[in-house]
Structure 1
Amino acid sequence: MPDFKVFPLPDTAEGLVDAEILAWHVKPGDEVAVNQIIVEIETAKAAVELPCPWAGVVTELHARAGETVNVGSPIVTIDVDPGGKAAPETAAPETATTAAPAAAEQNGQNAMLVGYGPKTTTAKRRPRKASVAAPAAAAQAPQAAPEPPALVVPDTPAALLETRGLVPLAKPPVRKLAKDLGIDLRTLTGSGDNGVITREDVERAAAPAPELSTVEPAARERRVPVKGVRKMTARAMVESAFTAPHVTEFLTVDVTPMMELRARLKEHPTLRDVKVTPLTFAAKAVCLAAKRTPDVNATWDGEEIVYKDYVHLGIAAATPRGLVVPKVRDADRMSLRELAEAIDTLTVTARDGKTPPADMLGGTITITNVGVFGVDTGTPIINPGESAILALGAIRDMPWVVDGQIVPRKACQLSLSFDHRVVDGQQGSRFLADVGAILADPAMAITY
């Protein structure tokens, strides 16, 4: 007889609570093979393709594209024995959601995707919405009798005069003007001495009201739910900004020698086919300078500071889904060519939304290249779990004093934000100066 198995949304080993269904690659009636990609989901980190753990026939999709599903909830049912005899209509299909999830929750785990490691933390589920029974009960409850309306006390001179049986104060020419314009003086508040209504008051009252747009503001607005990468980025930035005491320092550097070296490397046989950018030089400079100032590559962990003898360099990348920061693992062990290749691959993968979740974790220090947008500098926010982030500004032609003469040079602004719990001002300043010295004179790299 048919053997129905339900595939729940797995935790892809990054502590997920939910994910959005981006696109289905199968439909009911399709035959599937083991490890065939059946659905693409967007987690809080990136887009992930899920393979099917069984071979069989798709019988039901439990979530539509664009729908957000909690981890452990069923997303697809597979008949792994489609050639068997059909079960009676009254028989309910056996699903993995009746026994497996329950057992998993008892063990403090969630359902896992085949090929991913076990989860060591328990996912938090969203709070349930408030019951609708309470409003209904409130509607049936007797309502108190309305209070009598409060006494309205006139607070304008004209109204006060009217309550005393008097007429508003205005000169005869003003009264005639008001009559000609059809303005009731009792509705006006005089701006003259002792509340006297002036010609300007009447003319202002007679002026046509400014035309308002006939289109409601809501019709010209667009609301987009905050989820996926954008939601994760917002949460992380708020956590960082209000947890780590940020300090930002700035440095303007003459990078003319770096740009000249870059031009020469384009013609070098070993680097001719590689895209060496200013970001590549900045990455190399950060890795070298971190050796002299290891505090910027450390992590605050409660009562301890964790110093790391490796550099997992984060590269902030703007993507259609939002800002992501994939990591170049062991960047400090790479040559200039290897760094250039790794950064190029990393940014292309990030823009395509294909960065593996594991590549988003475990960074030690980050670079954000705001110069690609023509921006000179900024005050970047430190990524949670790190202690420093360097912003690389646009490279521009600027007047510079060289040997007492003002000459045009290629200049760039750097800004470094660091966690003042870990990095003191002297350490942050030395690190930023070291990075600037390497960019200003790449030959400095051989002294490290």
Structure 2
Amino acid sequence: MTAAEQRFREFKMPDVGEGLTEAEILKWYVKPGDTVTDGQVICEVETAKAAVELPCPFEGVVHAVHFEEGTTVDVGTSIIAVDTDPGAGPADTPAPAAEPAPAADEEDAEPQGRQAVLVGYGAAPSSTKRRARKPQPGAAAQEPAAAAVQAELNGHAAAAAPAPAAPAAPAPSAPAAVPTAGRPLAKPPVRKLAKDLGIDLATITPTGPDGVITREDVHAAAAPAPEASAPAPVPQPADVGSEAVRARETRIPIKGVRKATAQAMVTSAFTAPHVTEFVTVDVTRTMKLVQELKADPDMAGLRVNPLLLVAKALLVAIRRNPEISAAWDEENQEIVRKDYVNLGIAAATPRGLIVPNIKDAHAKTLPQLAAALGELVTTAREGRTAPGDMAGGTVTITNVGVFGVDTGTPILNPGESAILAFGAVKLQPWVHKGKVKPRQVTTLALSFDHRLVDGELGSKVLADTAAILEHPKRLITWA
């Protein structure tokens, strides 16, 4: 490590979850010139699982922040540089440039062009062989060298964008097309626009930077020559995918929690054979018990609601049928029985649906379970759920009733054996003691992995849960 590298320390994006590959920078708490201490929180990032605050492992002065808020950064990429010896005097490097320069040894790399590269299309061939080894006198020649020194100090020159070589002659006043021997340079939306308009990109003179064809270039090529006798155009309905339709759409990037949830659900739905069973149950007695518990001094300050008793009922049902707390090990071709229950609770958050779980929920008393549920929900809504809180779940409850929904067919979380959907509790006509009376009624739906949970086991767990909610005294007699 050089002296400069020892002084200017780079903090790389860590893997704050379990094998995550990227994270989005949500907010910076520091800026260049700020003094930081070891362990001080410098930014908040969102992974595919949760939002996490990152502490700085160095002490010194922030030298450079490499990415703006809202940028998704790969794990292992440097995100900030810290001057750990600011009292040593001015650094032998200028302030960081807007665009990082290539590494100092790039001039020894294989010859390549300097044209813009669009994702998925590659670079067009170029006659440029390599950058000049010896800089010319003057400020224009000094900038690449200074930028190279900065890139070496930052430690990420290999990933930096190459700086353009100094022009040999003054640029013309009008943009000039960059001749290419390959495919014309244009972004995918521009290519789609040209295709919709029937325009050959090879016939268009580009005006964008580095010879990139812009939307304006395509529209200019599509504009017909003015004719005095031309009839008025007849409006045509916009095609799907056209510019007129896109102007009325909002596109939201799929990333973070939503991206992880989508991938997990697809994996689960097409890996585990799902079976869903339903039962409608009279929960009038349970609803009365909820009101009594709210007034109980032992439950003061705790979150007491129907979900609490549904969770407790499911835990008792699992204790009576422990085989359902298991997982399918495809690699080793084994069913893994788990002598514990990490109870997941699906929580809707502004960043998407997450499923944190209560560790060892089976061993908790009712007040302990109520406290854990309250903390779980509050933490999730504030976006502070740690990745570890969402790992290792065994069985999950999703409370669709809070949205007024009767029931659903929930999809398993990957690695779990069952998920219970708790529907809305509604006043309905019900036969009670031989007479039709208004009663509080709900519907439960249990989805389970049919590879390891057969119909008998799944039915027993669902029936036991319903029986406890119909007669909650079984929480005592069956426990």
Taking structure 2 as the reference length, the TM-score comes to 0.69
The residue aligned with 1:133 is 124
Q: Secondary structure at the match of 1:270?
A: helix
Structure 1 residue 309: deviation in Å?
Answer: 0.6
Pair 1:238-2:242 in alignment: no
2:237 and 2:281 mapped to 1: Cα distance? Answer: 54
In structure 2, relative to structure 1, the CA distance for the partners of 1:129 and 1:240 (3 Å cut) is same
The residue aligned with 2:83 is 79
The residue aligned with 1:374 is 404
Whether the 8 Å contact between 2:275 and 2:448 is mirrored in structure 1 is yes
From 18, 25, 30, give the equivalent of 2:22: 18
The residue aligned with 2:328 is 300
Structure 1 residue 337: deviation in Å?
Answer: 1.2
Structure 1 residue 296: deviation in Å?
Answer: 2.1
Whether the 8 Å contact between 2:238 and 2:245 is mirrored in structure 1 is no
Correspondence 1:114-153 to 2 at 5 A: 129=120, 131-133=122-124, 136-139=180-183
The residue aligned with 1:258 is 286
From 438, 441, 447, give the equivalent of 2:468: 438
1:230 and 1:7 mapped to 2: Cα distance? Answer: 27
Q: Secondary structure at the match of 1:138?
A: coil
The residue aligned with 1:447 is 478
The residue aligned with 1:222 is 250
The residue aligned with 1:194 is none
Deviations 1:173-230 (A, max 9, x none): xxxxxxxxxxxxxxxxxxxxxxxxxxxxxxxxxxx98988999221221001000000
Deviations 1:139-179 (A, max 9, x none): 49xxxxxxxxxxxxxxxxxxxxxxxxxxxxxxxxxxxxxxx
In structure 2, relative to structure 1, the CA distance for the partners of 1:66 and 1:47 (3 Å cut) is same
Deviations 1:79-137 (A, max 9, x none): 00000033434999xxxxx9xxxxxxxxxxxxxxxxxxxxxxxxxxxxx8552337954
The residue aligned with 1:275 is 303
In structure 2, relative to structure 1, the CA distance for the partners of 1:407 and 1:226 (3 Å cut) is same
1:58 and 1:209 mapped to 2: Cα distance? Answer: 58
Correspondence 1:202-221 to 2 at 5 A: 216-221=244-249
Pair 1:416-2:446 in alignment: yes
From 405, 422, 425, give the equivalent of 1:392: 422
Structure 1 residue 294: deviation in Å?
Answer: 2.0
Deviations 1:232-261 (A, max 9, x none): 000000000000000000000100010111
Q: Secondary structure at the match of 1:7?
A: strand
From 42, 67, 74, give the equivalent of 2:71: 67
Deviations 1:25-79 (A, max 9, x none): 0000000011000010000000000000011000100111000101111100000
Structure 1 residue 424: deviation in Å?
Answer: 0.3
1:27 and 1:87 mapped to 2: Cα distance? Answer: 18
In structure 2, relative to structure 1, the CA distance for the partners of 1:89 and 1:328 (3 Å cut) is closer
Pair 1:30-2:34 in alignment: yes
Q: Greater shift after overlay, 337-346 or 265-274?
A: 265-274
Whether the 8 Å contact between 2:302 and 2:374 is mirrored in structure 1 is no
In structure 2, relative to structure 1, the CA distance for the partners of 1:8 and 1:209 (3 Å cut) is closer
In structure 2, relative to structure 1, the CA distance for the partners of 1:82 and 1:435 (3 Å cut) is same
1:227 and 1:313 mapped to 2: Cα distance? Answer: 26
In structure 2, relative to structure 1, the CA distance for the partners of 1:386 and 1:139 (3 Å cut) is closer
Whether the 8 Å contact between 1:276 and 1:337 is mirrored in structure 2 is no
The residue aligned with 1:144 is none
Q: Secondary structure at the match of 2:247?
A: helix
The residue aligned with 1:354 is 384
In structure 2, relative to structure 1, the CA distance for the partners of 1:79 and 1:399 (3 Å cut) is same
The residue aligned with 1:314 is 344
RMSD of aligned C-alpha atoms?
2.4
Letter in 2 for 1:53: P
Whether the 8 Å contact between 2:50 and 2:257 is mirrored in structure 1 is yes
Structure 1 residue 297: deviation in Å?
Answer: 1.2
Q: Greater shift after overlay, 9-18 or 371-380?
A: 9-18
In structure 2, relative to structure 1, the CA distance for the partners of 1:6 and 1:265 (3 Å cut) is same
In structure 2, relative to structure 1, the CA distance for the partners of 1:139 and 1:389 (3 Å cut) is closer
Q: Greater shift after overlay, 274-283 or 231-240?
A: 274-283
Correspondence 1:146-225 to 2 at 5 A: 216-225=244-253
Letter in 1 for 2:24: E
1:360 and 1:217 mapped to 2: Cα distance? Answer: 40
Letter in 2 for 1:371: G
The residue aligned with 2:393 is 363
Letter in 2 for 1:19: A
Structure 1 residue 325: deviation in Å?
Answer: 0.2
1:350 and 1:211 mapped to 2: Cα distance? Answer: 45
2:407 and 2:94 mapped to 1: Cα distance? Answer: 67
In structure 2, relative to structure 1, the CA distance for the partners of 1:36 and 1:399 (3 Å cut) is same
In structure 2, relative to structure 1, the CA distance for the partners of 1:133 and 1:278 (3 Å cut) is same
1:33 and 1:252 mapped to 2: Cα distance? Answer: 58
1:409 and 1:341 mapped to 2: Cα distance? Answer: 29
1:91 and 1:278 mapped to 2: Cα distance? Answer: 59
The residue aligned with 1:45 is 49
Taking structure 1 as the reference length, the TM-score comes to 0.74
Pair 1:336-2:327 in alignment: no
Whether the 8 Å contact between 2:285 and 2:470 is mirrored in structure 1 is yes
Q: Secondary structure at the match of 1:390?
A: strand
1:336 and 1:256 mapped to 2: Cα distance? Answer: 20
Whether the 8 Å contact between 1:250 and 1:413 is mirrored in structure 2 is yes
Q: Secondary structure at the match of 1:225?
A: coil
2:344 and 2:269 mapped to 1: Cα distance? Answer: 18
Letter in 2 for 1:10: P
Percent identical pairs in the alignment equals 55
2:33 and 2:51 mapped to 1: Cα distance? Answer: 26
Whether the 8 Å contact between 2:328 and 2:335 is mirrored in structure 1 is yes
2:237 and 2:50 mapped to 1: Cα distance? Answer: 47
2:94 and 2:403 mapped to 1: Cα distance? Answer: 62
Q: Which structure's CA Rg is the greater one?
A: 1
